[in-house]
């Protein structure tokens, strides 16, 4: 069967996620405004400085013009938090980054340094990394309000700092594909009391060069912060945010029949109210039994459960109702694939009003308390409890608030995490910006890989981000309620291996897992990973392949899908239609990349798309 016929089936089944992958790749520039040094716990200060100096030297040798900047956000994994107190190392780090220094002048340098739980793994499902992640830029642009301290915040937070209330950093990302609301994300910082004797580490510091010839800036001011916003998005309309939450459903969506605050009392099954935990308990027991029978070597497995609450008018309900809830042998064997299916669609579910809540307790009992389920009520990150109390009181009085947990009439679906998959052996390109959660079986940073000597440290250009052990707080807010999506959505994402990112998404998902795209990929050139000619010509060894431009096979499939879709719409639909406008907008977002691919056709003769498609899109776009 030709790759074209196989690909067209894949296009239809993977249309949404593939177009997302394509657009994400466009925003993943190899920008020098960010870099990360990722390792396994064996990274040293000297190695860090040497790698950055080598990186800078290579750029200068290649004639790259280094733009002077006066600020940086430096995130370190918890195990390296002591480095932030070493003024000699920090001075050398600032020098190696060429911050505040140019051939003609020296300026003060403003630094935000923070300790996070860990950094992004170097491969899919890999161990979280130890190291540093750095974002450079103008202070007003990337660290707004760095030296502002909220009035009264210091005294209140000193009394209330605890494991559940601690300093945080927040970032704003571009909207999800097809949405109009910016994505605000907040992550709590790591507890560093055993590393540097501070409960948490978030410090603003100012450094000054003594003279125009000075290479080692001196610390002149420092301030402990409680929160800081970091502007790390590239702001390009060609890039959008995405979110992946790899859990899979145990039950179908059920209408909430009764509940109060964060307590679910009853749900409807086949039109009749039943205790909220009844169906979940049955499915969970069956899952545990099946896992124990099929995978006895796995031992006890996690039974952590999440509740997805969606409005009754959510467009995602039909998709959720169609997901498999099987806990038989076949269902357990496909846990990872089912989790990835849900993960791929979570951005749409969230945009349509879905909220995720960890199930804290419940089940059992008798009388009025039989089958009650308690959900995590926290949807926003706050250092105090008044907001949660106000929300509960409003719910008690029958009011609906933007972050109400239980609302009779809404639907609830219960999901669990899959068994931990084996790490990928392939190191893949990381997104330009990423926030995530750590795996459920995380060991002390570097403990496993350091002993085996694997996963040596590496410098990754164009990547900035961090992982949290406790979750990501996501806020989709808009100044207006225009459009079909809910105006304000708040949720906490604390499922293991969850990611919120901008930029390349290829590394997030296991390629071809249970989809026809995997069969398409099996026909890809093994030498240069380009797509063979649609006309049936075999593989080739031309060095100018699609991968040389940084585009994956999924990206190319998505691009072909979008162009085919637009041509089909143009041939039979009015240009004023919403469908036409949406397709045209998505195509415009691919303009630069498609121009590059079109040029590649002319240079190398590689046939990536049908020539008619190339010609049509060249006319439309170029």
The predicted-structure confidence for 347-362, as pLDDT tens digits, reads as follows 999 999 999 999 998 8
Count H helices and E strands in the chain, helices first: 18, 24
Is residue 354 assigned to a domain?
yes
**What's residue 208's pLDDT?**
92
Is residue 422 assigned to a domain?
no
**What's residue 549's pLDDT?**
38
CA distances to 86, 118, 313, 404, 489 from 391, in Å:
44, 32, 23, 7, 15
401 in the same domain as 279: yes
Is residue 216 assigned to a domain?
yes
Q: How confident is the model at residue 606 (pLDDT cuts 50, 70, 90)?
A: very low
76 in the same domain as 20: no
Query: Which of 47-56, 101-110, 414-423 has the lowest average pLDDT?
Result: 101-110
Q: Is the dihedral of CA 342, 269, 395, 393 positive or negative?
A: negative
Residue 463's domain comprises 28-172+184-234+428-467
For residue 488, what are the β-bridge partners? 477
**What's residue 553's pLDDT?**
46
Query: Which of 22-26, 118-122, 308-312, 508-512 has the lowest average pLDDT?
Result: 22-26
Share of the chain above pLDDT 90, in %: 44
Mean pLDDT of 224-245: 86
Mean pLDDT of 259-288: 92
**What's residue 592's pLDDT?**
47
CA dihedral 445, 451, 454, 459 (to 10 degrees): 50
CA distance 488 to 184: 11
Q: Which of 355, 386, 416 is the last residue of a domain?
A: 416
Q: How confident is the model at residue 455 (pLDDT cuts 50, 70, 90)?
A: low
Q: How confident is the model at residue 586 (pLDDT cuts 50, 70, 90)?
A: low
- 3-state secondary structure at position 294: helix
214 in the same domain as 77: yes
Does the pLDDT of residue 417 top 90, yes or no? yes
**What's residue 543's pLDDT?**
29
Q: How confident is the model at residue 59 (pLDDT cuts 50, 70, 90)?
A: confident
Q: How many CB atoms lie within 10 A of CB 176?
A: 23
CA distance 156 to 146: 20
Q: Which residue has the higher pLDDT, 160 or 457?
A: 457
192 in the same domain as 55: yes
Q: Which residue has the higher pLDDT, 19 or 289?
A: 289
Most confident of 30-39, 377-386, 446-455, 526-535: 30-39
CA distance 583 to 233: 24
Q: How confident is the model at residue 582 (pLDDT cuts 50, 70, 90)?
A: low
276 in the same domain as 163: no
- 3-state secondary structure at position 496: coil
Is residue 619 assigned to a domain?
no
**What's residue 242's pLDDT?**
92
**What's residue 101's pLDDT?**
73
Mean pLDDT of 108-135: 93
What is the separation, in whole angstroms, between the first and last Cα of the chain?
A: 33
- pLDDT averaged over the chain? 75
Is residue 407 assigned to a domain?
yes
**Helix, strand, coil percentages, rounded to 5, for the chain:** 35, 25, 45
**What's residue 62's pLDDT?**
84
**What's residue 43's pLDDT?**
92
Share of the chain above pLDDT 70, in %: 62
Q: Is the dihedral of CA 75, 76, 78, 84 positive or negative?
A: negative
438 in the same domain as 554: no
210 in the same domain as 192: yes
Is residue 584 assigned to a domain?
yes
91 in the same domain as 104: yes
Does the pLDDT of residue 436 top 70, yes or no? yes
355 in the same domain as 312: yes
For residue 136, what are the β-bridge partners? 72
**What's residue 236's pLDDT?**
67
460 in the same domain as 324: no
Burial of 78 (0-12, 13-18, 19+ CB in 10 A): buried
Read off the tokens for 173: 């990302």
Are 496 and 157 a contacting pair, CB within 8 Å?
A: no
298 in the same domain as 352: yes
Mean pLDDT of 411-420: 94
**What's residue 533's pLDDT?**
31
Render pLDDT for 274-322 as a digit per residue (tens, 0 to 9). Answer: 999 999 999 999 999 999 888 887 777 788 999 999 999 999 999 999 9
Number of domains in the chain: 3
443 in the same domain as 343: no
Please choose, from the candidates 599, 577, 380, 375, the residue with its C-alpha nearest in 3D space to the C-alpha of residue 488.
Answer: 380
pTM of the shown model: 0.75
Query: Residue 305: which region, alpha, beta or left (left: phi > 0; alpha: psi -120 to 50)?
Result: beta
**What's residue 515's pLDDT?**
39
**What's residue 560's pLDDT?**
60
Mean pLDDT of 394-408: 61
Render pLDDT for 494-522 as a digit per residue (tens, 0 to 9). Answer: 999 999 999 765 556 554 443 333 333 33
Bridge-based pairing state of the strands 272-275 and 373-375 = unpaired
**What's residue 317's pLDDT?**
94
Is residue 485 assigned to a domain?
no
Are 73 and 84 a contacting pair, CB within 8 Å?
A: no
Is residue 501 assigned to a domain?
no
The beta-carbon contacts of 324-329 under 8 Å, at least 24 apart in sequence, are 324/249, 325/249, 325/250, 325/251, 325/252, 325/283, 327/250, 327/283, 327/286, 327/287, 327/290, 328/286, 328/290, 329/290, 329/294
Render pLDDT for 68-106 as a digit per residue (tens, 0 to 9). Answer: 799 999 999 999 999 999 999 999 999 999 998 766 567
Mean pLDDT of 201-225: 89
């Amino acid at each position: 069967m030709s790759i074209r016929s196989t690909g067209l089936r894949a296009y239809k089944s993977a249309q949404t996620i593939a177009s997302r992958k394509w657009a994400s790749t466009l925003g993943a520039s190899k920008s020098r405004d960010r870099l990360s040094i990722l390792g396994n716990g064996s990274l040293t200060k000297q190695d860090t400085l040497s790698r950055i100096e080598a990186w800078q030297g290579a750029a200068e040798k290649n004639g790259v013009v280094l733009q002077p900047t006066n600020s940086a956000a430096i995130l370190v994994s918890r195990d390296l938090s002591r480095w932030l107190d070493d003024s000699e190392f920090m001075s050398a780090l600032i020098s190696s980054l060429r911050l505040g220094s140019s051939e003609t002048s020296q300026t003060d340098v403003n630094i935000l340094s923070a300790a996070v739980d860990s950094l992004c793994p170097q491969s899919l499902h890999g161990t979280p990394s130890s190291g540093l992640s750095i974002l450079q830029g103008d202070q007003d642009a990337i660290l707004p309000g760095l030296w502002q301290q909220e009035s009264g915040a210091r005294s209140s937070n000193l009394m209330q700092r605890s494991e559940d209330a601690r300093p945080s950093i927040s970032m704003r990302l571009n909207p999800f594909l097809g949405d109009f609301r910016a994505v605000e994300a907040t992550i709590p910082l790591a507890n560093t009391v055993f590393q540097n004797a501070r409960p948490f580490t978030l410090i603003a510091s100012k450094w000054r060069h003594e003279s125009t010839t000075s290479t080692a800036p001196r610390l002149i001011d420092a301030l402990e912060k409680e929160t800081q916003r970091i502007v790390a998005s590239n702001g390009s309309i060609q890039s959008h945010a995405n979110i992946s939450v790899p859990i899979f459903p145990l039950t179908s969506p059920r209408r909430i029949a009764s509940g109060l605050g964060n307590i679910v009392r009853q749900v409807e099954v086949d039109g009749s109210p039943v205790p909220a935990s009844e169906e979940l308990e049955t499915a969970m027991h069956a899952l545990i039994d099946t896992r124990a029978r099929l995978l006895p070597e796995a031992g006890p497995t996690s039974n952590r459960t999440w509740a997805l609450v969606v409005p009754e008018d959510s467009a995602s309900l039909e998709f959720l109702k169609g997901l498999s809830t099987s806990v038989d042998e076949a269902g357990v064997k496909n846990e990872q694939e089912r989790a990835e299916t849900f993960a791929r669609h979570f951005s749409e579910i969230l945009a349509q009003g879905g909220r995720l809540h960890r199930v804290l307790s419940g089940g059992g009992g008798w009388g009025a308390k039989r089958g009650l389920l308690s959900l995590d009520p926290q949807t926003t990150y706050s250092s105090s409890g008044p907001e949660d109390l106000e929300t509960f009181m409003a719910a008690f009085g029958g009011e609906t608030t933007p972050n109400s947990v239980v609302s009779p009439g809404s639907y609830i679906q219960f999901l669990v995490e899959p068994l931990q998959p084996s790490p990928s052996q392939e190191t893949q390109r990381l997104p330009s910006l990423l926030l995530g959660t750590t795996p459920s079986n995380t060991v002390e940073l570097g403990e496993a890989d350091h002993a085996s000597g694997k996963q040596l440290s590496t410098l990754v250009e164009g990547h900035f981000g961090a992982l949290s052990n406790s979750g990501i707080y996501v806020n989709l807010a808009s100044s207006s309620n225009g459009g079909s999506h809910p105006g304000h959505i708040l949720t906490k994402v604390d499922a293991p291996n969850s990611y919120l990112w901008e930029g390349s998404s290829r590394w997030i998902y296991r390629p071809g897992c249970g989809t026809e795209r995997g069969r398409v990929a099996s026909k890809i050139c093994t030498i240069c990973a380009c797509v063979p000619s649609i006309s049936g010509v075999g593989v080739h060894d031309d060095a100018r392949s699609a991968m040389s431009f940084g585009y994956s096979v999924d990206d190319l499939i998505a691009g072909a899908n979008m162009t085919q879709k637009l041509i089909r719409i143009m041939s039979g639909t009015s240009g004023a239609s919403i469908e036409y406008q949406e397709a045209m907008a998505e195509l415009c977002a691919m303009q630069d990349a498609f121009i590059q691919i079109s040029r590649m056709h002319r240079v190398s003769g590689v046939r990536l798309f049908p020539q008619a498609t190339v010609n049509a899109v060249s006319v439309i776009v170029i």
